[in-house]
């Protein structure tokens, strides 16, 4: 697990914290996407059970929530990122510090899907190819005629071509959106354990090579 401090808070930012005592693990989750796709509504519904009453563009906000992941108590440290381009450096900080990503677009806004492809490329450029990513198509409460892409097509691009998890929701109407965070939390947990195991294996291999070289030097 990476140890780091999220950037200091600026502008209209806040920290929203639920009880995080006695947690076994902690995972840093960045929620990213174009402006107005519903990132803040999604996070607030998950953490507080309610949505903000009016739209206010996010600068940066951080939320923590304790939940059971893979049978252990874990803290999700969730970073709500700005959609607007004037804060692109905050998105870079979020990418650098996150263990896993929830990428949100609106099913009625094609440009928000294009933004997601750019963001995803940026994440893959910075992180390992198997970094945990869940893509969320939000605002499914809108009439089907205003969708720019069918659910099947979105599912096929994201799960088959991108090889990422995909979920469609209405952050505004759906009451059960916690499985998005349970899924990304589990993915982060597996990813970090695998990284630890690979690092331990590499260390063991390195130390075996070192011993072998030492023996050869002693004999000769």
Ligand X SMILES: Nc1nc2c(ncn2[C@@H]2O[C@H](COP(=O)(O)OP(=O)(O)OP(=O)(O)O)[C@@H](O)[C@H]2O)c(=O)[nH]1
The footprint of Mg ion (CB under 5 A) covers: 39-40, 58
Residue with Cβ nearer ligand X (69 or 171): 171
Residues 105 and 116 sit within 8 Å (Cβ to Cβ): yes
Report the residue number, 82 or 185, with the smaller CB distance to ligand X.
Answer: 82
d(CA 19, CA 176): 21
164 binds, among Mg ion, ligand X, none (CB under 5 to 8 A by kind): none
User: Which of 33/132 has CB closer to ligand X?
Assistant: 33
Q: Binding partner of residue 137 among ligand X, Mg ion, none, CB under 5 to 8 Å per kind?
A: none
* Long-range CB contacts (within 8 A, 24+) of 62-66: 62/6, 62/9, 62/13, 62/14, 62/15, 62/16, 63/15, 63/16, 63/17, 64/15, 64/16, 64/17, 64/18, 64/20, 65/18, 65/181, 66/18, 66/19, 66/20, 66/23
Q: Which is nearer to Mg ion, 58 or 134 (CB)?
A: 58
Residue from 115, 134, 138, 164 binding ligand X (CB under 6 A): 138
Q: How far is the CB of 3 from Mg ion (least distance, A)?
A: 27
Specify whether the CB–CB gap between 185 and 157 falls below 8 A. no
Beta bridge partners of 30: 79, 101
Answer left, alpha or beta for residue 3, where phi above 0 means left and psi between -120 and 50 means alpha: beta
151 binds ligand X (CB under 6 A): no
- Among residue numbers 175 through 214, which ones bind ligand X (CB under 6 A)? none
Site string for ligand X, 74-93 (x = CB under 6 A): --------xx----------
40 touches ligand X by CB under 6 A: yes
Nearest residue to ligand X on Cβ basis: 83
For residue 83 the two structure tokens come to: 């959609």
Instruction: Pick one of 23, 67, 142, 157: the residue that binds ligand X (CB under 6 A).
Output: 142
Nearest to 30 by CA among 62, 70, 72: 62
73 touches, from Mg ion, ligand X, none (C-beta below 5 to 8 Å by class): none
Q: CA–CA separation, 150 vs 164, rounded Å? A: 17
Stretch binding ligand X (CB under 6 A), from 18-26, 33-41, 115-123, 128-136: 33-41
Residues that bind ligand X (CB under 6 A): 33, 35-41, 55, 57-58, 82-83, 138-139, 141-142, 170-172
């Amino acid at each position: 697990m990476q140890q780091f401090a999220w950037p200091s808070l600026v502008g209209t930012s806040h920290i929203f914290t639920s009880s995080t005592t006695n947690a076994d693990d902690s995972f840093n989750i960045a929620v990213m996407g174009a402006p107005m796709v519903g990132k803040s509504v999604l996070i607030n519904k998950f953490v507080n059970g309610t949505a903000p009453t009016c739209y206010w563009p996010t600068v940066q906000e951080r939320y923590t929530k304790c939940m059971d992941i893979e049978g252990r108590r874990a803290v999700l440290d969730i970073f709500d990122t700005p959609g607007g381009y004037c804060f692109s450096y905050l998105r870079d900080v979020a990418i650098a510090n996150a263990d896993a990503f929830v990428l949100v677009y609106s099913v009625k806004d094609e440009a928000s899907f294009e933004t997601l492809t750019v963001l995803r490329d940026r994440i893959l450029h910075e992180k390992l190819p198997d970094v945990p990513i869940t893509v969320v198509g939000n605002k499914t409460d809108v009439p089907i005629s205003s969708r720019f892409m069918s659910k099947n097509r979105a599912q096929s691009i994201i799960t088959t071509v991108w090889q990422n998890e995909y979920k469609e929701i209405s952050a505004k109407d759906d009451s059960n959106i916690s499985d998005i965070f349970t899924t990304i939390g589990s993915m982060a947990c597996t990813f970090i354990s695998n990284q630890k195991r690979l690092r331990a294996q590499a260390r063991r291999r390195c130390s075996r090579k070192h011993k072998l070289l030492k023996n050869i030097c002693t004999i000769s």
